[in-house]
Structure 1
Amino acid sequence: MSAAQRTAPRRTRVLAWAGFVAAVIVVAIAAGLLAQSAAWSERGVLDPESAGPDGARAVVRVLEAEGIEVRVARDRAAAAAALADSDATLALTDVPGLSDAALRDLVGDAGDVVLLEPRSRTLRLLLPGSAPAGAFADEEVSPACGFPPARRAGDIVAGELFAPATDGQACYRVDDGYALVTATQDGRSVTAVDGRTLLANDGVDRAGNAALALALLGARPTLVWYVPSPADADGAAPTLGELTPPWVTPAIVLLLVAGAAAALWRGRRFGPLVAETLPVTVRGSETTAGRARLYARARDTAHTAEQLRSAALARLRRILSLGPHAAPAAVADAAAARLSEDPAALRRLLLADAPATDRELVDFSDRLHDLEAAVAAAARPEGTTR
Structure 2
Amino acid sequence: MVMQAPPTGTGTGGGAGTAAEPSARQVAGRRWRASRGILAALLALALIAVILAALRPSSSAESLDPESPRPEGGRALAAILAQHGTRVDIARSVDPALVSHGPGTTLVVTHSERLTDADLTILRSSQANLVLVQPTPYALYDLAPGIDVTGTTYSDVDAPGCGLQAANLAGPVSFQESFLYEADPGAMQGDSTACYTETDGARLVQVQEPGRTVTVLGSTAPLVNEHLENEGNAALGMNLAGPGAHTVWLMPDLPEPGTAAGGRSLTDLLPFGVKLFFLGLLVAVLLVALWRARRLGPVVAEALPVVVRSAETVEGRARLYRASRARDRAAEALRAGARDRLVPLLGLPRSAAQDPAAAQQIVSAVAGRSTYEEAAVGGALYGPEPVDDAGLLALTDVLDDLERQVRQS
- Range class of TM-score, shorter chain: 0.3 to 0.5
Q: Report the structure number with the largest CA radius of gyration.
A: 2
